[in-house]
Amino acid sequence: MDILLALIDGIGAAMQPTNLGLAIAGVMVGLFVGAMPGLGSVNGVAILLPFTFVIQEFTGSATSPMIFLAAIYYGAMYGGAISSITLGIPGASTAVATTFDGRPMALAGRADRALVIAALASFVGGTISNILFTAFAPPLASVALKFGDPEIFALMLLAFATFIGLGGDDIPKTIFSICFGLVLASVGFDIVSGEPRLVFFDISGFSHGIRFLVLAIGVYGIGEMMWTMMASQSHSAMSYVKITRRGLIAACREFASAWRGTAIGSFLGFFVGLLPAAGATPGSLMAYGVAKLTARDPKSFGKGNPDGISAPESANNAASTGAMLPMMTLGIPGSPTTAVLLAGMVIWGLQPGPLLFSSQPDFVWPLIGSFYISNVIAVLVNLAFIPVFVWMLRMPFTILAPVIFVLSLIGTFAAYQDMFDVWLMVLFGFGALLLRKLDYPLAPAVLAIVLGPIAEPKLRQSLLFSDGDFSIFFTRPIAGPITIVALILILLPIVKFALAHIRPANR
């Protein structure tokens, strides 16, 4: 009851004209930042962090600038789906999984429905995670603390296991795709010895490793554009998308049929967001994999399945709230963006940790209240601007293709200010085109390059702790069951594939 009263007071404080205006402005900025390839919530929050000092001087409170930054974070989670669906370019790494089914749905002339499903799934995921955050912050933070290196590696292994089936029935090509992604993820300096690994031709640009955003924009921006051009896919199907009230009602009904993906994404995304150094990108990819794994018709994924949109979109919004929880209750950022937010809190004289809720309730509860407010603002703005987003698709592909190319170049350069990454992005685009022509699935490789840099250090640190004994992944009470389930999910499709090819040979 005390928590409910505190939340009501917090929402009331968040709805004060100044804070409400900052929330609206933050969501609008976040939508642009999220939709613009190469930016994302991390860059948006980091770029605008100095501006919050002006807000603090004007309001005299640390709560208002934090509400502004949190609204940017929320808006960016929504905005990433816009370019993923309309252009096939992930606005941010958190929206990569949305392209798997969002882009095919747009190509089929259903972009309006894809955008509605993405917005409503984001809203549901954000709402569920806000409720969980409010009700269970201290115990959930203590659960997250129990996840050490073996547990996090086991969870990453489970994520890989859910993606074994992403390549359809061709298991060898899927495994090759995952291994290829892991090789790319290992480029750079070794985390233990400091020695360079796979620095091809001694090119210094490889020393920082293969940046995920470079791969994502290359594969889903340049690669998708060239594939569409080579396949001579007609753009007219998207040109006739019309926004009508009947169409929006039908889109809402279609979202209701995607309840399974929304539920999976909301709860799984929030849980993954709790874990230090995980964040929304692994959460959205894992939610997509689990939704496909548990679907009645998994072969429809990748062809415009509504669950393939609702799962990652609800997951990345739930994970963004989940990542705030360890940051506020333990002082441990759950994602790169919350690391920037943590820095802002420290600059403003706040001390994140267990005592923050009791010592700074005037800061905590208005901030939590702003989560609810920003979530509502974001879904309303998204739905209101759907006609604008669909209008983008009415451009002839002869105009749209150069726009995609330029946005990909600008987005990659804006993210890292490095021309080497721009050329590498173009190279990945040609590589993705080649793999698609050879019928190799791209999604498992994308998953591998996201989770590889997280899984490898956890694996090696766990083995260092156990003196090289792999039993550490089976004997610990949390890591053991997760590892066993992951191994079963990995072995089952491999065994089925082997049996399916052995039986015809015997006949």
**Max Cα-Cα span within the chain:** 80
Amino acid at 295: A
DSSP annotation of 95 reads G
Least Cα distance to 370 among 5, 131, 2, 20 occurs for: 20
Return the residue matching tokens 């080497």.
420
How much is the pLDDT for 239? 43
Q: pLDDT tens track of the chain, all 507 residues? A: 577 788 888 888 888 888 888 889 988 888 887 777 656 676 677 767 777 777 877 777 777 888 888 888 888 888 888 878 887 777 677 788 888 888 888 888 788 888 889 989 999 999 999 898 888 776 766 666 677 888 888 877 877 777 675 545 567 787 888 888 888 888 877 776 777 777 766 676 777 778 777 877 787 778 777 876 776 544 444 444 555 667 677 777 778 888 888 999 999 888 888 776 566 778 888 888 888 888 888 888 888 888 999 999 999 889 888 888 877 776 666 666 777 777 777 777 777 766 677 777 787 888 888 889 988 998 888 888 877 777 766 666 677 678 778 877 877 787 677 888 888 888 888 888 888 788 787 777 877 877 787 788 888 888 888 888 888 888 888 888 888 888 887 887 777 767 766 665 555
* Rounded alpha-carbon distances, angstroms, from residue 210 to 182, 204, 507: 11, 12, 47
Please give the Cα distance from 20 to 35 (Å, whole number): 23
List CB contacts of 314: < 8 A, sequence separation 6 or more.
121, 122, 124, 125, 128, 261, 262, 263, 264, 265, 266, 269, 287
How much is the pLDDT for 354? 63
How much is the pLDDT for 252? 78
Q: Which two tokens stand for residue 130?
A: 């806000």
Q: At what angle do helices 96-107 and 307-329 cross, to 10 degrees?
A: 160
Return the residue matching tokens 């292994």.
157
Please give the Cα distance from 458 to 148 (Å, whole number): 9
List CB contacts of 4: < 8 A, sequence separation 6 or more.
none
Query: Can you tell me whether residue 209 is helix, strand or coil?
Result: coil
Amino acid at 246: R
- Percentages helix, strand, coil for the chain (3-state, rounded to 5) are 80, 0, 20
